[in-house]
Amino acid sequence: MNEQHRIVSSESEELILVDEDDNELGFLSKARCHDGPGVLHRAFSLFLFDDNGELLLQQRGESKRLWPGFWSNSCCSHPRRGESMEIATMRRLRDELNIETSLEHVYRFCYTAEFSEAGSENELCHVYLGKVTGDIQANDSEISGIRFVSPAVLDEELSRHPQRFTPWFKQEWRALVDNHAERLLGYCDL
């Protein structure tokens, strides 16, 4: 099967339930984790920059249950039952973008966000920075589009059209700029 069309996730995969201190509490299907108000589970968000200091954004696939067609960070997902964060992030980079790179963990936070009747995010999310290496081949079963954007242009877009972006991405970008600027400077100019 063509790598750019491969199905890489399902509503039945088991995610890792956690408390607010990231202690594992059990497992639950992805579907159940996102039903109604959601159940707190472990997740990650990756922010990848090119050699020009521009951030890779992805537009979520139209078939996504939550926030289809919205712009978001380079890659985000969940570790599955039995997966370490390192294995899960590398798997997802290959699955979504067909790349490999090293990642730097920056921080973690809890958030919730409701998407109409479709369900909610209720996640303890680990945020990572990295560099884009290799040719990107976006998997169109997950991603509708990709583009690179400078921090200045991104800030302007977030100010003018915040409704085009996922809620977690807006929170994460603000926290990176406001609380972790020294780490971001290793990847881009603010």
Active site residues: 76, 123
Q: What is the pLDDT of residues 53-66, one digit of tens each?
A: 999 999 999 989 99
Residue 10's pLDDT is what? Answer: 64
Q: What is the pLDDT of residues 69-93, one digit of tens each?
A: 999 999 999 999 999 999 999 999 9
User: Environment class of residue 37 by beta-carbon count within 10 Å: exposed (0-12), middle (13-18) or buried (19+)?
Assistant: exposed
pTM: 0.93
Closest CA to 76 of 53, 56, 101, 93: 93
Q: What is the pLDDT of residues 165-180, one digit of tens each?
A: 999 999 999 999 999 9
| Sole residue written with tokens 């040719």 | 135
Mean pLDDT for 9-20 is 87
The per-residue DSSP string of 78-140 comes to -PBTT--HHHHHHHHHHHHHS----EEEEEEEEEEEEEGGGEEEEEEEEEEEEE--S-----T
Which residues are registered as beta bridge partners of 29?
Answer: 14
- Domain 13-184, what fold? Nucleoside Triphosphate Pyrophosphohydrolase (3.90.79)
Q: State the chain's mean pLDDT as an integer.
A: 93
Residue 4's pLDDT is what? Answer: 60
Cβ neighbours of 174 (radius 10 Å): 12
Q: Is residue 3's pLDDT more than 80? A: no
Phi, psi dihedrals of residue 133, rounded to the nearest 5°? -130, 135
Q: Is residue 147's pLDDT more than 70? A: yes
Q: Is residue 1's pLDDT more than 70? A: no
